[in-house]
Structure 1
Amino acid sequence: MCLLRHLKTIALALVLVWSACLVPMHGAQAQTSQQAAAPDYQTWRAFAERAETLIDQRFTPDEDLVTLRGELVGFRSQFLAAQDANSTRIATLREQIAALGPPPEEGATEAEEVASRRAELNEQLAQLQAPGIAAQEAFRRADGLVRQIDHIMRERQAEALLTLWPSPLNPVNWVSAADAVWGTAFTFGTQVTGALQDPAYLREFRSNLPIVGLLFLVAGFVLMRGRAWIERLVGRWLDEGADRKSKRVLAQIMSLTQIIVPVAAVVALGTALVLTSLTGEIGAALASALVQAGIGYFTARWAGRQLFPVHESRRAPLQLPAPRRREGRFMANLAGLFMGLNVIISTVFDPARQSDAANAVIAFPLMVLAGVVLFRLGALLSMHFRLAAADGGETRFFDRIVGVFGKLAMIIGIGAPLIAAVGYVQAAQALLYPSLVSLGLITGLVFLTQLVDDTYDIVTNRGPDDPDALVPALIGFGLVLLSLPVFAIIWGVRPTQLLEVWQVLREGFSIGETRISPTNLLSFFVIFSIGYLATRMVQGALDSTVLPKTKIDKGGQKAIISGTGYVGILLAALVAISTAGINLSGLAIVAGALSVGIGFGLQNIVSNFISGLILLIERPVAEGDWIEVGDTMGTVRTISVRSTVIETFDRTDVIVPNADLISGKVTNWTRYNSLGRIIIPVGVAYGSDTRKVARILKEIGDGEPLALLDPEPQVHFVDFGADSLDFELRLVLSDVGFGLSVRTELRHQIAERFKEEGIEIPFAQRDIWLRNPEALRGEPAPLAKVEPRDPRDENARTKMRYDEITETDAGSGDADGGR
């Protein structure tokens, strides 16, 4: 029963979505036109009193309340537009009054001319504010009445869902159902018989007979043969165009003919029934329900072929084996059939004209069958998730969502018939049929996202191995957002409630004395986007055209480009805020609290940000410099506002906070030039010819191609070491970045020349003196003669022992020194 309402309101949902996109763009023009015509407050007061009377009546029909609500919404829109009446003039008057200075304090006076002018401006301000104040009062009254009607409608809807009907399993109630079916059939037969006996209806039937016959023939031919031809044609295109994106996109679009053509045939069939003029009121309603049932059935059939394709394909939304796909298509056909039958039964057997017992018994068998179909569809969705998880790889978000939907469908498929058997038939219908319709809508979203993705591949020539693009993902996310109102209507949300939500969004919210509406937000984003794009264009022009022709180094060019980007984005934000009419003065308290939070919680981030700006402006470190920060040494790759990336010599990236570069000790080896000095220490054995050593080192240094001639390489005899005579070879290289490789090569040459000249490179030597070598040989230590201890000789023995140890250490030192 509720499916009929869903099908009727889907189109309205699309209209709501379209209007939601258009209203912000044309809100200013509509508001201006509404301001031109002031509301008729006398008519409004009379209407409001009548509306309050109808609302207070307990048994006012839902149809009357819906009509009343629509009229109230119209008044409320007028009052909302009238609230801003004379806003420009009011702002000007306030500025004029502010220009006169603050009013005098109590007991003080001001110039008579100023006081007179102030009183005149205040009087004008009060007159201009009066229409806005009246509009605000009327708006609040209309808004209150609308909310009261919405509250009543919600209560009635909840009461209807929780109403306990007689159980359809009770045989006593079957009699009421049989009476309802017989009564409807008898009424339909009476209407047909009366039409056949009426000469006027017979004449109309004879005149329309050729058209009726033609419509029946066309509809029958299309339903019998045309649908199969279309499916075969689309399937062939899909098979042949599996590797050609253009054919695949065209085949996807042509697949919609599987809905359009059969539905057109059903429309022709319904039109033929109406043109016979012999079916009566029930026949006319049946013809309308037949069209809606045809839409539901053929849409479900198309959705089944999309979710469960005939041929196996990697692009199929659900990866299932062939038998399960065949079962899925069969279940989708049954789902469409049962939803169509539900529409026909709800139309022919009007629930408002039948007893609750009859309605429960008539609706229950179809609900059981639909529940079984929903349960099997949910089982197939859950199977897809299990197969995707069994592959061992990471499951996609889509697969996890499909698994969740599958479990929910299985629960609803079992639970809805059970609660219907108890007697909560309306609640069961509100769960069962919206679930089936939602599965169809989800299939439509999957179809649209695939179509967008394939179209984007054609436009951009994206290959199958390329990573997923962002634009199709954003479009798909937008389609999901646009489908939310449709999902809401499917699950019982009235279109008037959606309009109410949109009205609240149009009204906006207040920040201080500023009201923010969707129009303001749209203006802000449009202006800011334009400013952002302009900033990027200027940065691109500077980077590719202007700065390369100057003498500014690469680091300076990067600093100018980054600074231009920051300034441009800041200006774009300020202009967008000003254009949108957002007053930031009301955010002073929020900004103060935010500054305190920044001071305590974000001080490191702010410190790094400020340090980054200093680095970009002063440029003590630039990209490409070889620097040393603490234990990190490498080449600067990028400098951002928060951190600097340093590439070390082992090709790893180290991210250093900018605060460390400003407050810490930094060695920049190549800031202004790449010159740098290297020092190679060399030690030779004692007894070597020191001048010969110096000459050899000088020749090796002069032979290095990267060494500068001014200053030339130098050799210094620096010290008499403990084990060697110490020299240093010092060179200034034209590119200190090759310092390590130059050191390596020079050491090779020094080792080779010293070997040729017979110069020894010593190594550290030490002598070890053992006090008791007999212990190492395993001999027992000699026993000392034990004499009686005399306390008076204790100090003498201690002094003698000390002298022996000192003498031994001195002798060892002389021996080392001699060697």
Structure 2
Amino acid sequence: MPTISRGQDAPPADYVTTVATAAEELRSVDAAFNDQLAEDELNQLRLRVSGARSTALDAVETMQKELELVSEREAQLGPKPGEGEPPDILAQRQDLTQRRGMLEAAIKRGRLVAVEAQQLADRMKASRAEQISTEVAQRVQSPLLPRFWVEFANHAGGDIGRLSRLIDAELRTLAVSLRGPKSWIGLAGFLAALTIEIPLRLLSRRLGQTLLLKVAPEGRIRRSAYALWRLVVETGLAIIAVWVLTTSLRWASLIHPRWEPIIDAFSSGVGISAYLTSLAGAVLMRGQKSWRLLPIEDDLAGGLRRWTWLLAGLSLLYMVLQSVSVAMSASAPAMSLMQMFIVSCQVVLFAGMLVTLARLRLAAQVEARDLHQTALSLLRIVAWLVILISLFAMLAGYVALGLFTVRIVSWALIIGATYYLTCLFADDLMTNMFCSSGRIGRLLVSGLGVRSGLVDQAGIVLSALLRISLTLIAVAALLFPFGTGFEAIVDNIRGLADGITIGEFTLSPGAIGRALLVFMVGVAVVRLLQSWLENKYLPRTAFDAGARNSISLITRYAAFLLVILWTLASLGIGVERIALLLSALSVGIGFGLQAITQNFVSGLILLAERPVKIGDLIRVGNDEGDVRRINVRSTEIELGDHSTLIVPNSELITKSVLNKTHANPLGRIQIEFSVPIGLDITPIRGMVLAAFQNDSRVLAEPEPSVFIDGIADGRVRFNCFAHVAGPRDAYGARSSILIDLLQRFYKEGIDVGTVPQKLELTTTGASLGPASASSGSDSPK
């Protein structure tokens, strides 16, 4: 019995400790969680829960693999005997049993921790949703009522005083720092930020266009890639510029500590506003119609572009005002008035955008002719309803609801435009990378032998998969304002990545991608092997064309079977599961797929025994032709009129087939005719042999022969035979010999004909006598 090594495995105690640590982290989060937590605190707890769940699941996956190794070792030891087992083997068996028990217990505990973490995450999600509902449902005094303005006036003095003190604190800091030795740092940072934001941004546009004109192929991919270039580069430059500015201000000690949150909010607002303006510029491309993705005119692009600048500025203003209100501890009426101002500006902005769209659409005299225009009209109606809801909610005192509504509209616009841009780029990228006329496509076609149509189809399929992934991400991002934080979005994506578990089998995107990669590599290897066999090895052997085809086909199908098994194994489907599936489907295969199975087995018999091979001239029923291809299911036969007869392989195995080139490839010519009995047959025999000899296609061996088949009705019947190189030459040679022979008979005045036919007419019980038909003068058969 071989000794089984155990030194490379992690002790089960380590797994138990890992799961216990995750469980302790989960209990700590559960103790800290309550419904009154702020959004930031709740997001931090979500991150901890997500980490604990991931740790538990990773430990479970590792322990599952370790448990499989334990099972393999137990199988190597074999069944436990009754008595007399060697001590070392007994010790190994006991150790494996103990290890199995610890692993199974730890796996159960790890799964339980993952379930508890998911339940806690769901509770947090529900708590955040309830908080949002509570916040949105809060009502303040309506701005249409005098009481609101009275309360605002009562608190105005205090708000103005607190704002003044906040401003005075920063002014004093500036007065002191500007007289210091580091004041130039702030000025240098401001100039650097200005340089990054304006000259570099314009230079990046020209650089992107130049690079894409040189590198990218012609078509829409240049426009989509340039739009994505502008979005990423210009947003990145704006973030770098604001980081340089704020960092230089901090280094120069120009920021008062109370203004730090305001500066942070300003930096975040600049990043969001930069993304919004860059996104609008990438999609609209004002003044650059040739680079524009949307099928709109310059007037509409310019009109919408102005509103996007206002929307970006309003977003920045809201974040700054919100942080200032918190920093100065503004009163509730002041906060409500600030929010009402933002909602009013957002409503006016969205209404202006819709009016601009309607005015330009009316000026262009565009009619809603198709489903696309109808959908846009419905979206405009929905947008107007949302605007009215926000306005009436604010006027009724539900300021939080109005603010929440306009924020959702802004967020939806950002997500929709980003989704549109990324989907176009993903489609263009995949269809151009995997294109039969592209660089990668030509490499696949010429190097691996992949058909050009398959390359194009791969591009379309990969594009669809990418767009589906982007759609799921966009839907998850749309739920973010409803309390689904990015951590929850990441968890959902991770859950999709973990896959779907069916029994003991887990189907995940990673496993599918791995299986696709394995299949593609396997197919490439099979094609290379087949190309080597057909072009290098088999032509140098003594096999004929049919044998070479049989070897090539059998190798191909066997290799593809191995590739399929390899692909299924990469999905986690072992051979034993495949055997179980096939046994479960055996009844269905036996009845529903009986004909297909019969043809498949017959195809294998044809390839192995080769009763019919490629190049044979065969007759199946009334059809005769050359075998051109033998597949696993059917055989292709080319008939005399160049049409193709597809015969199921079972027909060639279970029924009679005439193979004219199976054993002896020679073709035989047979000519039958009759002459009057009074003629000398010796010259006639000499004419026939001379006609055979004059045709170069007639073989000397076996030599031609002339026989007298019989004498009847005053005529002598001749039956003549000759051979040619192959059955395909027999028909043409026979025609030429008949023409020559008829000319010789005509010159000698010999009456040649066929065997006379006899016809007897009878009635029931009495014969009317024989009635014979005289022999005709038809041409010989």
Q: Which amino acid is 2:233 matched to? A: I
Which residue number corresponds to residue 71 of structure 1?
48
CA distance, structure 2, for counterparts of residue 640 and residue 561 of structure 1? 11
Which residue number corresponds to residue 591 of structure 2?
600
* 1:597 Cα deviation after fit: 1.6
Which residue number corresponds to residue 748 of structure 1?
739
Which residue number corresponds to residue 434 of structure 1?
412
DSSP-derived class of the 1:551 partner: coil
CA distance, structure 1, for counterparts of residue 410 and residue 301 of structure 2? 19
DSSP-derived class of the 1:39 partner: helix
CA distance, structure 2, for counterparts of residue 207 and residue 225 of structure 1? 29
CA distance, structure 1, for counterparts of residue 623 and residue 367 of structure 2? 51
* 1:618 Cα deviation after fit: 0.8
Which residue number corresponds to residue 343 of structure 1?
315
Q: TM-score, normalised by structure 2?
A: 0.72
**Deviation per CA, 1:20-77, whole angstroms, max 9, x where unpaired?**
xxxxxxxxxxx9799857526766565544544555x444444433322322232233
Unaligned runs of 5+ in 1: 1-30, 102-109, 387-402, 767-801
The alignment status of 1:310 with 2:289, answered yes or no, reads yes
Which residue number corresponds to residue 771 of structure 1?
none
The alignment status of 1:301 with 2:275, answered yes or no, reads no
* 1:587 Cα deviation after fit: 6.0
Which residue number corresponds to residue 133 of structure 1?
105
* 1:568 Cα deviation after fit: 3.5
Which residue number corresponds to residue 147 of structure 1?
119
The alignment status of 1:492 with 2:479, answered yes or no, reads yes
Which residue number corresponds to residue 415 of structure 1?
382
Unaligned runs of 5+ in 2: 1-8, 327-331, 391-400, 444-451, 758-762
Q: Which amino acid is 1:730 matched to? A: F
Q: 1:516 to 1:317 in 2, by over 3 A?
A: closer
Q: Which amino acid is 2:177 matched to? A: R
**Deviation per CA, 1:627-655, whole angstroms, max 9, x where unpaired?**
22223322222212112222222222222
Q: 1:166 to 1:716 in 2, by over 3 A?
A: farther
CA distance, structure 1, for counterparts of residue 554 and residue 290 of structure 2? 57
CA distance, structure 2, for counterparts of residue 262 and residue 419 of structure 1? 29
**Deviation per CA, 1:520-574, whole angstroms, max 9, x where unpaired?**
7777666666655554444333333332222122221222222233334444555
Q: Is this contact kept in 2: 1:195–1:201, CA < 8 A?
A: no
CA distance, structure 1, for counterparts of residue 551 and residue 496 of structure 2? 42
CA distance, structure 1, for counterparts of residue 151 and residue 676 of structure 2? 125
* 1:289 Cα deviation after fit: 1.0
Which residue number corresponds to residue 663 of structure 1?
654
Q: 1:277 to 1:485 in 2, by over 3 A?
A: farther
Q: 1:176 to 1:616 in 2, by over 3 A?
A: farther
Q: 1:508 to 1:760 in 2, by over 3 A?
A: same
Q: 1:284 to 1:70 in 2, by over 3 A?
A: closer
Q: Is this contact kept in 2: 1:628–1:668, CA < 8 A?
A: yes
Q: 1:738 aligns with which of 726, 729, 737?
A: 729
Q: Which amino acid is 1:633 matched to? A: E
Q: Is this contact kept in 2: 1:686–1:725, CA < 8 A?
A: yes
Which residue number corresponds to residue 268 of structure 2?
288
Which residue number corresponds to residue 203 of structure 1?
177
The alignment status of 1:675 with 2:702, answered yes or no, reads no
* 1:282 Cα deviation after fit: 3.9
**Deviation per CA, 1:60-117, whole angstroms, max 9, x where unpaired?**
444433322322232233333443445367326633775215xxxxxxxx54879999
Which residue number corresponds to residue 640 of structure 1?
631
The alignment status of 1:483 with 2:470, answered yes or no, reads yes
Which residue number corresponds to residue 264 of structure 1?
237
CA distance, structure 1, for counterparts of residue 241 and residue 537 of structure 2? 69
Q: 1:708 aligns with which of 699, 703, 708?
A: 699
DSSP-derived class of the 1:539 partner: helix
CA distance, structure 2, for counterparts of residue 715 and residue 664 of structure 1? 35
Q: Which amino acid is 1:658 matched to? A: N
Q: Which amino acid is 2:46 matched to? A: R
Q: 1:123 to 1:344 in 2, by over 3 A?
A: same
**Deviation per CA, 1:429-471, whole angstroms, max 9, x where unpaired?**
54664355333333244345545666776636969xx977456
* 1:613 Cα deviation after fit: 1.0
DSSP-derived class of the 1:172 partner: coil
CA distance, structure 2, for counterparts of residue 428 and residue 526 of structure 1? 46
DSSP-derived class of the 2:488 partner: helix
CA distance, structure 1, for counterparts of residue 386 and residue 171 of structure 2? 47
User: Where do 1:135-534 residues align within 5 Å?
Assistant: 135-150=107-122, 152-153=124-125, 156-157=128-129, 160=132, 172=144, 190=164, 193-195=167-169, 197-199=171-173, 202-203=176-177, 210-214=184-188, 216=190, 256=229, 260=233, 264=237, 267-268=240-241, 271-272=244-245, 275=249, 277=255, 281-282=261-262, 284-305=264-285, 310-311=289-290, 324-327=296-299, 329-330=301-302, 333-334=305-306, 336-337=308-309, 340-341=312-313, 343-348=315-320, 350=322, 354-355=335-336, 360-370=343-353, 408-423=375-390, 426=404, 430=408, 433-447=411-425, 449-450=427-428, 459=439, 469=456, 472-473=459-460, 476-477=463-464, 479-480=466-467, 483-484=470-471, 486-492=473-479, 494-501=485-492, 503-504=494-495, 533-534=524-525
CA distance, structure 2, for counterparts of residue 116 and residue 263 of structure 1? 66
CA distance, structure 2, for counterparts of residue 765 and residue 177 of structure 1? 128
Q: Is this contact kept in 2: 1:82–1:131, CA < 8 A?
A: no
Which residue number corresponds to residue 398 of structure 2?
none
Q: Which amino acid is 2:612 matched to? A: V
Which residue number corresponds to residue 779 of structure 1?
none
* 1:724 Cα deviation after fit: 8.8
CA distance, structure 2, for counterparts of residue 753 and residue 180 of structure 1? 130
CA distance, structure 2, for counterparts of residue 722 and residue 505 of structure 1? 93
Q: Compare 70-79 and 353-362 and name the one that shifted more.
A: 353-362
Q: Is this contact kept in 1: 2:29–2:45, CA < 8 A?
A: yes
CA distance, structure 1, for counterparts of residue 711 and residue 151 of structure 2? 125
Q: How many pairs does the alignment contain?
A: 712
**Deviation per CA, 1:266-316, whole angstroms, max 9, x where unpaired?**
74267547736387744552343123212221232123349x96249xxx8
* 1:620 Cα deviation after fit: 1.2
Q: 1:762 to 1:40 in 2, by over 3 A?
A: closer
Q: 1:116 to 1:327 in 2, by over 3 A?
A: same
Q: 1:268 to 1:119 in 2, by over 3 A?
A: closer
DSSP-derived class of the 1:256 partner: helix
Which residue number corresponds to residue 542 of structure 1?
533
Which residue number corresponds to residue 329 of structure 2?
none
Q: 1:590 to 1:462 in 2, by over 3 A?
A: closer
Q: Is this contact kept in 2: 1:715–1:728, CA < 8 A?
A: yes
**Deviation per CA, 1:579-599, whole angstroms, max 9, x where unpaired?**
887555456653322112211
CA distance, structure 1, for counterparts of residue 182 and residue 520 of structure 2? 61
CA distance, structure 1, for counterparts of residue 116 and residue 321 of structure 2? 38
DSSP-derived class of the 2:108 partner: helix
